[in-house]
Amino acid sequence: MISRRDFLQVSMAASALYGTSGFGNWARLAAQQALTQDQLLEFETFGNVSLIHITDIHAQLKPIYFREPSINIGVGGNKGAVPHVTGSDFRKLYGIDDGSHAAYALTYDDFTSLAQGYGRVGGLDRVATVVNAIRADRPDALLLDGGDTWHGSYTCYQTEGQDMVNVMNGLKPDAMTFHWEFTLGSGRVNELVESLPFTSLGQNIFDSEWDEPAELFKPYKMFERGGVKIAVIGQAFPYMPIANPRWMFPEYSFGIREDNMKEMVAEVRGKGAELVVLLSHNGFDVDKKMAGNVEGIDVILSGHTHDALPEPVLVGKTHIIASGSNGKFVSRVDLDVRDGEMKGIKHKLIPIFSDVIAPDADMAKLIDVQRAPYADQLSEVIGKTDSLLYRRGNFNGSWDDLICDALISEREADIAMSPGVRWGPSILPGQEITREDIWNVTSMSYGEAYRSEMTGEFIHTILEDVGDNLFNPDPYYQQGGDMVRIGGMGYKIDVTKPQGERITDMTLLKTGEKIDPSKTYVVAGWASVNEGTEGPQIWDVVEDHIKKQGTIKLDPNNSVQVVGA
Amino acid sequence: MEFSRRDTLALGAGAVALAVLPFQVNAAADEAIAAFTGGADVAEGGVTLTAPEIAENGNTVPVSVDAAGATSILLLAAGNPTPGVATFNFGELAGSQSASTRIRLAGTQDVVAIAKMADGSFARAASTVKVTIGGCGG
């Protein structure tokens, strides 16, 4: 992790300049003076094996802003446990000073002023610099991509993932697993996977007709690094055909498949693996449960739920590493493996501060080549925002408030629904909104914005169903997204209740009346998992709305009342 | 998690049905178990029931059962209007006592397997399979 000494240095510099509060109103120069590339990369090489983990990039090739969630509720055994700790509680837990670079990277408060001070994060050319630096220390380090790589931007959509494949190949990963990649459609996924110069992993990727392991994806890959036999087992997102449109990849079946995971661990140990690494797209709580149920996994590189944790979480003998999203972090994990077992671990979650870490020139060029054909489209300014636009949070975020506003006004609806996805960068107050920015939070292969009539009872059923995907106390029944975002309607949710009893007090905001179960309402939404959904693409709906508004100014959203958190 | 108008109507009807039927082991399932065991005690364990935690498609859910030393295995979808799925009988020459099939589930419910062992004892395993209208992945 970032050492406590580093925090101290930054906060002392702040105190010297601004007094002891050190919180808010950071000047850009002062903040960055305290931070250097060497400091971010500082790491005394340890043991004999290095793992580099990056995950959930969501096609973010360039530096962005990314605000972490303020609300991330854990239920059942995970209540109050990381990653379900946010803001000042998170800083207290890890000894992070207010206003420090780690506070900016890992927590949400005072985001706008800290972002103005510390600048953007991510960018795969900066990631390349970090990866190269680790490889300079340890030339045979394994680079592992946790998936959600070929999705989430204008250029990724236009090139059907080719831009990301080209750029990631430049980073030379050793293996990868998957989630949103499959929404390119199975034909395209197969084509891209066949082109990769590294192994595609997923012990839970099966053929849906015969329920046998899919040929194109391997359950694991054996490596020999630093004289150590290493098995990397892959776990794709288990609930793709439920959370995403099944009709786009009908040949494939997924699931958690814990029994098969146990068999794979036994198989690789039988083949002499001294270190077993799980490259996972399960989501953090699912990984915790799996670590408890499946013996023999040394390290889980966890993806999907976009959590960034500065220290590994230990379950039994398994260390779980969470490396964030959108290119904002890279994890370095050094391991000491001797006499056939793991003896020690040293870990650092490296935040990719774009103004501090120098871009790798070759990678910068490669990225520019992918983007050049679309430069005019990407950079077109659609409007401006006075409000901070962000997505993360269990119930709503201002980006989805804006998207729901767009759906209600452009599609003349009573109520709007926006999917509870966790990807999508943030936009600071005062920034212009470009077409690229809109696509960064809406791009997908099933973005049609439908307009439909639903009864109050059916809307309730949807909220209960999605709520259970998030708040079922058994992690194996969770899908790792957030609550569906609702515009035009408020409700109360008790996260401790079972499905069917969580959601009450549904209220139509424009009239203040309770939602009538038998009455029909006009609902507009997007990202339907059903085939044949009709409507304009969501990015066009949002673009039209922003153009009409000119400057976006959003009121705080207090329409969801949470109980039992 | 969103729906076209046609699907909305179809699912709307399903949602009404969901509200009426309690998806737990119902009387019909209890009767089927009693008929199979003759009212004998049923032990937990000794049967492996493999089913997805969340069904990818509620209309065709892959389920398999395995119970070493069983002479027959009763498989029930406890929350279906007609809970009986199958009874697998194994002869003396059977190489293994396992079977796989696909079943249709009317909603979230327990799938139950009861094995009758060669010595006349019974063993049981159950697994909750969630049938969802779809969510949104991170």
Q: Counting one residue from A and one from B, how many pairs have CB atoms under 8 Å apart?
A: 137
CB atoms B138 and A480 under 8 Å:
yes
Burial class, A554, CB count within 10 angstroms (exposed 0-12 / middle 13-18 / buried 19+): middle
d(CA A552, CA A383): 8
Q: Is A86 left (phi over 0), alpha (psi -120 to 50) or beta?
A: beta
B33 falls within a domain: yes
Q: Characterize the bridge pairing of strands A432-434 and A381-385.
A: antiparallel
ipTM here: 0.86
Which residues of chain B neighbour A461 with C-beta distances below 8 Å?
11, 15, 18, 133
Specify the CATH number for A4-369; select among 3.30.1780.10, 3.50.50.60, 3.40.50.620, 3.60.21.10.
3.60.21.10
Nearest to A452 among B4, B16, B100 (CB): B4
Sign of CA dihedral A297, A299, A301, A306: positive
Using alpha carbons, select from A64, A98, A150 the residue that is nearest to residue A353: A64
Banded pLDDT at A8 (limits 50, 70, 90): very low
Per-residue DSSP letter, A121: B
| pLDDT at residue A29, as a whole number | 47
* A37-84: pLDDT as tens digits: 999 999 999 999 999 999 999 999 999 999 999 999 999 999 999 999
Chain B residue at shortest CA distance from A531: B4
Tokens 């996994």 belong to residue: A297
d(CA A313, CA A319): 6
CB atoms B1 and A476 under 8 Å:
no
Which residues of chain B neighbour A528 with C-beta distances below 8 Å?
1-4
**Mean residue pLDDT across chain A:** 94
Which residues of chain B neighbour A283 with C-beta distances below 8 Å?
138
Which residues, at least 6 apart from A95, have a Cβ–Cβ distance to it below 8 Å?
Answer: A4, A7
Which residues, at least 6 apart from A455, have a Cβ–Cβ distance to it below 8 Å?
Answer: A517, A518, A519, A520, A521, B12
* A225-272: pLDDT as tens digits: 999 999 999 999 999 999 999 999 999 999 999 999 999 999 999 999
- Is residue B98's pLDDT more than 70? yes
> What is the tally of structural domains in chain B?
1
* A274-306: pLDDT as tens digits: 999 999 999 999 999 999 999 999 999 999 999
- Is residue A452's pLDDT more than 60? yes
* A311-352: pLDDT as tens digits: 999 999 999 999 999 999 999 999 999 999 999 999 999 999
**Mean residue pLDDT across chain B:** 83
Token digits of residue A83 = 């990653």
CA distances from A205 to A13, A356, A506 (A): 50, 39, 39
d(CA B113, CA B103): 13
Q: DSSP for A11-69?
A: HHHHHHHH-S---S---HHHHHHT--HHHHH-----SSEEEEEE---TT--S-BB-PPP
| pLDDT at residue B26, as a whole number | 75
Using alpha carbons, select from A254, A416, A393, A244 the residue that is nearest to residue B132: A244
Ranges of each domain in chain A: 4-369, 380-563
CB atoms A481 and B137 under 8 Å:
yes
| Cis peptide, bond prior to residue A473, ω within 30 of zero | no
Instruction: Report the CATH number at residue B57.
Output: 2.60.40.2470
Backbone angles phi, psi at A331, to 5 degrees: -100, 135
A284-293 vs A258-270: helix crossing angle, rounded to 10:
60
List the single best residue of A56, A66, A181, A242 to mutate versus B (max B Cβ within 10 A). A242
We find that the CATH architecture of domain A380-563 is Alpha-Beta Complex (3.90)
Using alpha carbons, select from A353, A314, A309 the residue that is nearest to residue A331: A309
Using alpha carbons, select from A235, A355, A217 the residue that is nearest to residue A284: A235
| pLDDT at residue B25, as a whole number | 55
Q: What percent of chain A has pLDDT over 70?
A: 94
Which residues of chain A neighbour B8 with C-beta distances below 8 Å?
452-454, 458
CB atoms B15 and A461 under 8 Å:
yes
* B111-130: pLDDT as tens digits: 999 999 999 999 999 999 99
Q: State the pTM of this model.
A: 0.91
Neighbours of A260 (CB within 10 A): 16
Using alpha carbons, select from A300, A279, A298, A292 the residue that is nearest to residue A338: A298
Tell me if residue A282 falls in helix, strand or coil. Answer: coil
B1 falls within a domain: no
Which residues of chain B neighbour A417 with C-beta distances below 8 Å?
1-2
Rg over CA atoms, chain B: 17
**Within chain A, what is the greatest distance between any pair of CA atoms?**
70
| pLDDT at residue A32, as a whole number | 56
Buried-exposed string A468-489: b where 16+ CB fall within 10 A, e elsewhere: bbbbbbebbbbbbbbbbbbbbb
Nearest to A462 among B19, B128, B133 (CB): B133
What is the mean predicted confidence (pLDDT) over A212-217?
A: 96
* Residue span of the structural domain in which B91 resides: 23-129
Contact status, residue A384 vs residue A502, Cβ threshold 8 Å? no
| Residue A248 at interface with chain B, using a CB cutoff of 8 Å | no
CB atoms A525 and B2 under 8 Å:
yes
